[in-house]
Structure 1
Amino acid sequence: MTIYGDSLSGNCYKVKLLCSLLQIDYEWIDIDILAGETQTSEFLALNPNAKIPVLVTEDQQVVSESNAILFYLSQQSAFFPAQVYQQTLCLQWMFFEQYSHEPYIAVARFINKYLGKPESRLAEFNAKQEGGNKALSIIETQLQKTNYLLGDSISIADICLFAYTHVADEGGFNLNEYPYILNWIANIKSQKNFVPMTLSM
């Protein structure tokens, strides 16, 4: 199995983290987004949408979109719930991440960490703060009730939202305002076989 990704990308880190937690062996191929490596003909043959991560299975099946890859890898594992309602809640959180969380927190982080917060994108960076804090508040409210997003057990919903949430400070968000999120982050980091985002592959 081969994963194409950027080690500092939260979307790619989701996949790397789940593979480590499940002890799935894979080959990692680092892709430099800023150098245009997702625009090569070879990469576009894998994913015409020119985005990472991309998973290529041992039988050469290709899966793109980070949350779809999480779904694929988590089947028949404890990270994907067995009951339909819990499965639905899991997907609900994953859609929330893509539409109400990642567009604010990940983009603010990209502008700040990758681009150095240039003057030309400062207004956009500032505009992302309200939506990002709203998303963090929603997660905080849930974690006041349960240890993990679906209850007492970790799932791919947690992996999905952990990736960018635990580095939200790099996008200008103050995680000290969210004590339940900080506790949740600590719980995930304490999982057996946890790996940090910046671990070299």
Structure 2
Amino acid sequence: MQVYGDLQSGNCLKVKYIADALGVPYEWRDVPSGTGATTTSEFLALNPAAQVPVIVLDDGRVLAQSNAILRYLARDSRFLPADAFAAAKVDEWLFWEQYSHEPYVAVARAHVVYKGHTIESRDANLVARAEKALDRLEQALSGSDFLTGPALTIADIALLAYTRLSPQGGFDLTGRPAIRRWIAACEQELGLPALAAVN
């Protein structure tokens, strides 16, 4: 399998996290964001949406969209429940992540990390929406080890990537103990370095 992505991108890190956790062999093809690499004719032949991540399976089939890739790679594994309702609860978080978390937390971070702007110059409305999303996560994790219960699923992997990197975008997690506990638990299960080593 080939994975086209940018290791600064949380959406791409999701794919790396699940592939590594499952021991899926892959070749990483670096596609740096903001360089025009996703608009070449070669890349657009893989994904006309000009976005990473993209995976190319050994038989040549192509799949894009980080959470679709997560679902595909996690099938028949401990990271995606077999029970239909439990799997739908995972999907509930996957859809929320792309609609209510990533557009705010990730975009505010990109303002700082990719564009080189100051934390103070971030859009106030964007920051408020991101803080609201982080508050929602804190609330959900206050009574549960992981997002859908006692076991880590791709719901956690999907939300871990940008939440874990959110301090790079100026978000303070010190007042969110449930999120910090959850990040540490996810890191331990996935074999990732501690948050402090990332930010």
TM-score between the two structures when normalised by the length of structure 2: 0.93
Count of matched residue pairs? 196
> Match for 1:91: what amino acid?
D
Conserved? CA contact 1:55–1:62, under 8 Å: yes
Higher RCO (C-alpha 8 Å, min separation 6): 1
> Match for 2:4: what amino acid?
Y
Match of 2:2 in 1: 2
Task: List structure 1 segments (4+ residues) > 6 angstroms apart after TM superposition.
Answer: none
Report 1:45-194 matches (<5 A): 45-117=45-117, 122=121, 124=123, 126-194=124-192
What residue ranges of structure 1 are gaps of 5+ in the alignment? none
Match of 2:17 in 1: 17
- Report the alpha carbon displacement of residue 44 of structure 1 after superposing the two structures with TM: 0.1
Q: Deviations over 1:141-181 (max 9, x none)?
A: 11111100010000000000000001111111111121000
Q: Deviations over 1:67-109 (max 9, x none)?
A: 0000000000000011111111100000000000000000000
- Report the alpha carbon displacement of residue 123 of structure 1 after superposing the two structures with TM: 5.3
TM-score between the two structures when normalised by the length of structure 1: 0.93
SS in 2 for 1:176: coil
- Report the alpha carbon displacement of residue 122 of structure 1 after superposing the two structures with TM: 3.0
Taking a change above 3 Å as real, the CA distance of residues 192 and 47 of structure 1, as seen in their structure-2 partners, is closer
C-alpha distance in 2 between matches for 1:98 and 1:177: 24
The percentage of counterpart residues that share the same residue type is 43
> Match for 1:165: what amino acid?
T
> Match for 2:121: what amino acid?
L
Taking a change above 3 Å as real, the CA distance of residues 192 and 122 of structure 1, as seen in their structure-2 partners, is closer
Cα root mean square deviation, aligned: 1.9
Q: Deviations over 1:109-134 (max 9, x none)?
A: 00011111169x9353x321111111
